[in-house]
Amino acid sequence: MVDEHFDAGNVGSGPGDLLAQAMLALDDGRAADAARLAAEVLEADPRHASALYVLGYALTLQGRYDEAVDMLGRGVEVAPSSPEISLQLGYAQLSRRDCTSARVAFAQALDISPQAPDALFGLAKAHQELGENEPAAEGFRRYLAIRPNDAGAWLNLGHCLLELGQLDAGFECFRTAARGDTARYGTALTSLSAASRGRFWLRPSDAARFLRPPQPAD
């Protein structure tokens, strides 16, 4: 989702109107239209930070990750104090599996906005992909303190803790992720069954029983 606080109209009504249309196109899932509109702004002003952000975001949604990283990298050069551009750059780099660069971009976003939840999640995910499970776990904990109902983050934290040998705490994260509805339970069950560390589940039903909360004694 496009950051609702990002200023799309900082150089006058013409570019502002085009970028407002571009952001609406992104929200409607029309990434190609958004890219075209942002590119029009950049033809007149190649250093327009908002247009670079929108174009980079649109390119990310179209599977054109290298181009997205290029646009967003230019945006960071133009507006180094913008956490939104660094954040989106991090996610574009994650998408093309450049986790080391993504880690730097997310850290830059957090330097500007220390409690930004999406940056906390992104940095934790970059650490996890690099096998840095201890800082990853800390990042997921900080994120979950802000968004405690994110089942996916609980699963990521659980995997990190299993890799660190903290089995009981890790399995409890899977149980937390499973609470709420059938979809969450199914996702948690699949993730737990695929865990590379910890218990070896002989049958899916074994993992399913493990995720269920203990029943009170009669």
Rounded CA-CA distance 141/164 in Å is 15
Is the whole-model pTM more than 0.85?
no
Task: Identify whether 201 is part of a domain.
Answer: yes
Banded pLDDT at 207 (limits 50, 70, 90):
low
Judged against a pLDDT cut of 50, whether residue 202 lies above it is answered with no
Residue 14, pLDDT > 80, answer no
Number of domains in the chain: 1
Which residues span the domain enclosing 183? 149-218
Question: Across residues 102-126, what is the average pLDDT?
Answer: 97
Angstrom distance (rounded) from CA 147 to CA 151: 10
Nearest to 34 by CA among 78, 64, 73: 64
Flag whether pLDDT at 210 surpasses 80.
no
* Element holding 186 (H helix, E strand): helix 182-193
**Alpha-carbon gap, residue 210 to 191, rounded angstroms:** 13
Residue 172 lies in a domain: yes
- The answer as to whether 163 is a domain residue is yes
Looking at residue 115, its pLDDT comes to 92
Question: Has residue 209 got a pLDDT over 70?
Answer: no
- Mean pLDDT in the chain? 86
For 18-44, what is each residue's pLDDT tens digit? 989 998 998 999 999 999 999 999 999
* Domain membership flag for residue 40: no
Look at the alpha carbons of 58, 61, 63, 67 in this order and tell me if their dihedral is positive or negative: positive
